[in-house]
Structure 1
């Protein structure tokens, strides 16, 4: 999961849990994950490209802007 690129579908910000869609090659498709900012900063709006920097099973990722 770490290093995969995705797109924000639900706003991510300080104190907010957002959503990202990430293409998972091993599963041959795109999946939704709950997302948090890896480093606190400006909120990420829907449509922003992000990279996964940490993964917490089963469906949580920490992201940074791409």
Structure 2
């Protein structure tokens, strides 16, 4: 799971629980998302990279630099 890329579908920021869609097993699944960097805000539509995963449905992400 760590290192996978996903798309933000619910804003991620301080005090917010965001949502990220990540390609898994030939489909796409939704995960609760928090910023891996304290205080970072990530808007809807941004591409992110999973930095940490806490089963069953929580990921910590950072903005992907392309």
Q: TM-score range by the shorter chain?
A: over 0.9
Structure 1: which 5+ residue stretches go unaligned?
Answer: none
2:2 and 2:40 map into 1 onto residues whose CA distance is 21
Q: TM-score, normalised by structure 1?
A: 0.92
Hey, which bits of structure 1, 4+ residues long, moved more than 2 A? none
Query: What does residue 22 of structure 1 align with?
Result: 22
Matches within 5 A, 1:37-52: 37-52=35-50
How far is the alpha carbon of 1:40 from its aligned partner?
Answer: 1.3
Which structure carries more helix by proportion?
1
Give the match for residue 54 of structure 1.
52
- The TM-score normalised by the length of structure 2 is 0.92
Separation in structure 2 between the aligned mates of residue 40 and residue 49 of structure 1, nearest angstrom: 18
Question: Structure 2: which 5+ runs fail to align?
Answer: none
- Supply the RMSD in Å over aligned alpha carbons: 0.8
- How many pairs does the alignment contain? 64
- Which residue in 1 is equivalent to 2:34? 36
